[in-house]
Amino acid sequence: MGLPFSFQDDFGRNGAPMAKTLGPVKRKFSPWTDPSAVPFIRFENITKRFGNFTAVDNLTLDIYEREFFSLLGPSGCGKTTLMRMLAGFDEPTEGRILLQGKDISGVPPYRRPTNMMFQSYALFPHMTVEKNIAFGLEQDKLPKGEITARVEEMLKLVKLEQFAKRKPNQLSGGQRQRVALARSLAKRPKVLLLDEPLGALDKKLREETQFELMDIQHTLGLTFLIVTHDQEEAMTVSDRIAVMERGVIVQVATPAEIYEAPNSRYVADFIGDINIVDGTVKKTDSALGAPGAVTIDCGGLTFAAEQECQAVVGDNVAYAVRPEKVRISPEQPADTSVNAVNGEVWDIGYLGDFSVFIVKLDDGRVMRAAQANVSRLVDRPITFGDRVWLSWPLDAGLVLTR
Amino acid sequence: MKSSRFDITVLTLGFAFLYIPIVILVVYSFNASRLVTVWGGFSLHWYASMWSNEGLMDAAWVTARVGVLSATLGTVLGTLAALALVRFQKFPGRMLFSGMIYAPLVMPEVITGLSMLLLFVALGVDRGFWTVIIAHTTFTMCYVAIVVQSRLLTFDRSLEEAALDLGCPPVKTFFKITLPLILPAVVAGWMLAFTLSLDDLVIASFNTGPGATTLPIKIYSQVRLGVTPEINAICTILIGLVTIGVIVASLSTKRAEIRRIRDEHLAQRQGI
C-alpha cells in the first residue's frame, strides 16, 4: 500500500480487473504476400503533371482492404498529390485509379466512397461540433433519427460527448483533430484518407493519438491511407509504408523491412539514424542473388554483411549500419579483421533512453554508436576523448547497391 | 506618455477642420429663422415643413429604392466577379481582367456617367428610374468585387473541399459553406454600395429622367435657388442615419472580438 505510482489504479488492487480494456489481440495481417489477394485500391501507371512539373511519375501501387497504409516522403515528393487524386480533387494526367476493381476516373469527389481528414482539419467554423459531424450524413439524406444516433456514436468514439454544442473555435487543437476524425469517419467510408493528421499536435498527444488511430482502424475494419513526412509516425501506425521521392516510390514494405532492409541509400538515410560509408565490393561468398557474406573495402577498412548478394566484385556500393547495432567498448574485440574500427569519442548525445556516441576514426571519418541506458548510472563509463572500439556482427550491416 | 500641448492643438485643429462645417449644418437645421446664416432661436419647424415638402420626400423615396435595388444587384454581380477572379485558373490575360475591375474606381464619374448615357441613347432606352439603377449597379459592383475578393483570398479552400468530400455538390457547397463564411464581406460590400448610390450626384444626373429625381439631384437643384433650412434638416437626418450605421457596425465587430477571445480562453482552459 501507499505506492506513489499511479499504475496501481490501472492494474487494480487485490486483483481487480484493469481499468483500461483493450479489444481483441491483433493478428498478423499480410494480404500483400498472398498472390491471389485482390487489391482494394490500385494506382495504375499514374502520372500527374502540373505544367512542366511532374508531381507523380508513372507510379503503380496496390493497397489492400483493411490495410493501414502510409505514404512517406519529404514535402514535394508527390504523396499528397497521390492522395488528392484518390479523393477526386485532382485527376491523373495519365493512368487510372481502380477502387474495388472499378475505374474511378472522372467521378467527382462528392460521389466517391472515400473521405478525407484534412491537414488543417477544415472544420466548418459556423457549425457546431455536432453539425460538423452530421454534415456528410445529411448529404446522404439519411433519416433524422439515424443521423443523431450516428453522430452520438462518433462523439463517443472520439470521446467528445460533452463538446457537441461547441463551435470549432471553442476547442483546443487536440479536440479539433478528433472532431475532424469523427466527421471523416461518420459516413463509414470505404477508405479513409488522412493528410498529415497529427502534424499540428505536440509530441505526447501525437503519440497517444497514433495508438488511438490504430485502435479505431482495427475496430471499424476500415482501410486507412495516411500521408506523412514523419517517419516515426509512419513506422508506428502502418501495416505497410511506401517511401516516395520525387514522384516515384522507392520502396514499399512493412515498417520492420523498411528499417532493417532498406533497398537504397535514400530509404536507409530517410528512415531512422544510420552510418553510411562508400566502398567497393572486394569479395562475395556466393552467386548473385544468393544469400552469403559480402565483403566491402571502404578506404582501408573492411566491412562485411550477411545478405542476399546484389553486387559483383569491383562494384561501387554503400555500406550501412544502424548506430544501435554498433557495440561500443574500451576493449579490443577478439576479431578485428572485419566490422571493427578504432577511434576516439568526440561527442556524446544523451537522449535519456539512449546515448549516442560520435566516434572520430583515426582517418578522420565519423561513426555513431547508440547504447541503451539500461542502468541509472549518471556517470557513464565511456566519456569524451576515450579510445574505443566499435564492432558489429555480420548480419547487422547492409550493402546498398543504389 | 503625456500628450504635449502641440499634440492637443494639432488634434483640435484637425477635428475642427473635419467637423465644423457639419456642426454648422446641424445647428442651423434647428434655426427658427428663415435665413440660413442668422440664428433666430431653436425650432423644429423645418423638420415639419420638410415632411410636407412633397418634392423632397419623393426624391428621398426614389433614392432609397435606387440604393436598395442597385446595391443588391451590384452585390450579386460583384460577388460573382470576385469568385471568378479569385478562383479562375491562371490564363493568359488574367492580370488584365483583374486590373479591369479596378478601372471604374479611378475613372472620373463624369466619364462613367456620360458613357452610360451614350449607351442608353444608342440603345434607345428612355431614361428614368431603371437607367439610374443600371448605372449605379455598374459602378458599385466593382467596389463589392474588391471587398469580397479580399475576403476570398484568405478563405481556406480546404473547407470547400471538405464539403465536396463529404458528398455535397458544388453549388450546394457554395450556399452552405462559402457564402455563410464570406457573408460579413458581402454585407459590408452591400452597405458600401448602398452608401455610394445614396450620395451619387454625377452619374445619377446623367442617367436620370422625368419622375426619377434622386435626393442629391434634388438638393443640388434646390441649393442653386438658395439654401433653405429644410435642406439642413434632411442632411441632418442623413448624417444621423450614417452615424447610427457606423456605431452599430463597430459595436458588433467589437462584440464579436470579445466573444472570440472568450472562446479561445475556454478552449485553452479545457484543452485536451
User: pLDDT tens-digit profile of A208-257?
Assistant: 888 888 888 888 888 999 999 888 888 888 999 999 999 999 999 999 99
Contact of B89 with chain A, judged by CB distance below 8 Å, is answered with no
Among A286-295, A374-383, B79-88, B94-103, name the most confident range. Answer: B79-88
pLDDT digits (tens, 9 = 90+) for B156-191: 889 999 999 999 999 999 999 999 998 888 988 888
> Average pLDDT, whole number, for chain A?
85
Assess whether pLDDT exceeds 70 at residue A272: yes
Residue B181 has its nearest CB partner, among A111, A125, A184, at A125
The residue to which cell 475591375 is assigned: B101
- For residue B169, which residues of chain A lie inside 8 Å, CB to CB? 108, 110
**Which is nearest to B202 in space by CA: B139, B146, B142?**
B139
Q: In CATH, which of 3.40.1400.10, 2.40.50.140, 3.40.720.10, 3.40.50.300 is domain A273-400?
A: 2.40.50.140
**Which is nearest to A372 in space by CA: A315, A327, A331, A338?**
A327
- For residue B264, which residues of chain A lie inside 8 Å, CB to CB? 169
> According to the model, what pLDDT value does residue B13 have?
93
Contact B264 A169 (CB under 8 A): yes
> According to the model, what pLDDT value does residue B243 have?
85
Domain assignment of residue B160, yes or no:
yes
Residue A318: which region, alpha, beta or left (left: phi > 0; alpha: psi -120 to 50)?
Answer: beta
> According to the model, what pLDDT value does residue A6 have?
36
H or E element: which one contains A183? helix A173-185
pLDDT digits (tens, 9 = 90+) for A127-178: 999 999 999 999 988 899 999 999 999 998 888 888 988 899 888 888 898 8
What's the rounded mean pLDDT across residues B134-155?
89
Domain hosting B242: range is 5-266
- For residue B177, which residues of chain A lie inside 8 Å, CB to CB? 124
| Mutation site for A-interface testing, chosen from B90, B154, B155, B165 by largest number of A Cβ within 10 Å | B165
pLDDT digits (tens, 9 = 90+) for A334-373: 888 888 888 888 988 888 888 899 999 888 889 999 988 8
Size of interface A-B (CB pairs under 8 A): 81
Q: pLDDT confidence of B87, banded at 50, 70, 90?
A: confident
> According to the model, what pLDDT value does residue A12 have?
36
**Which is nearest to A244 in space by CA: A82, A87, A116, A88?**
A82
Nearest CA in chain A to B180: A126
pLDDT digits (tens, 9 = 90+) for A278-327: 888 888 877 666 677 888 888 888 888 888 777 778 888 888 999 999 98
> According to the model, what pLDDT value does residue A289 have?
66
Q: Measure the CA–CA gap between B40 and B36, rounded to whole angstroms.
A: 10
- For residue A104, which residues of chain B lie inside 8 Å, CB to CB? none
Each domain of chain A, given as residue ranges in start order, spans 31-260, 273-400
Assess whether pLDDT exceeds 70 at residue B270: no
Contact B271 A173 (CB under 8 A): yes
> According to the model, what pLDDT value does residue A25 have?
66
Q: pLDDT confidence of B255, banded at 50, 70, 90?
A: confident
Describe the strand order of the beta sheet including A240-245 as a list of residue ranges.
Answer: A114-117, A191-195, A223-228, A68-72, A240-245, A248-253
Q: What is the DSSP string of A215-262?
A: HHHHHHT-EEEEEES-HHHHHHH-SEEEEEETTEEEEEE-HHHHHHS-
Copy the grid coordinates of residue A372. Answer: 541503451
Q: pLDDT confidence of A15, banded at 50, 70, 90?
A: very low
Q: What percent of chain A has pLDDT above 70? A: 92
Domain assignment of residue B271, yes or no:
no
Predicted complex ipTM? 0.79
Count of domains observed in chain B: 1
Domain assignment of residue B272, yes or no:
no
- DSSP-based three-state secondary structure for A363: coil
Tabulate helix, strand, coil % of chain B (nearest 5): 80, 0, 20
Contact of A346 with chain B, judged by CB distance below 8 Å, is answered with no
* Residue B175's CATH number: 1.10.3720.10
What's the rounded mean pLDDT across residues A376-387?
78
Contact B181 A169 (CB under 8 A): no
pLDDT digits (tens, 9 = 90+) for A41-90: 999 999 999 888 989 999 999 999 889 999 999 888 889 999 999 999 99
Residue A170 has its nearest CB partner, among B161, B163, B267, at B267
> According to the model, what pLDDT value does residue A382 have?
83
Q: What percent of chain B has pLDDT above 90? A: 24
- Predicted TM-score (pTM) of the model is 0.78
Q: In CATH, which of 3.30.565.10, 3.40.630.10, 3.30.360.10, 3.40.50.300 is domain A31-260?
A: 3.40.50.300
Q: Is B73 within 8 Å of B138 (Cβ atoms)?
A: no
- DSSP-based three-state secondary structure for A115: strand
Contact of A126 with chain B, judged by CB distance below 8 Å, is answered with yes
Contact B167 A187 (CB under 8 A): yes
Q: pLDDT confidence of A24, banded at 50, 70, 90?
A: low
Contact residues, B window 146-185, toward A, CB-based 8 Å cutoff = 156, 158-159, 161-170, 177, 180-181
> According to the model, what pLDDT value does residue A147 have?
93
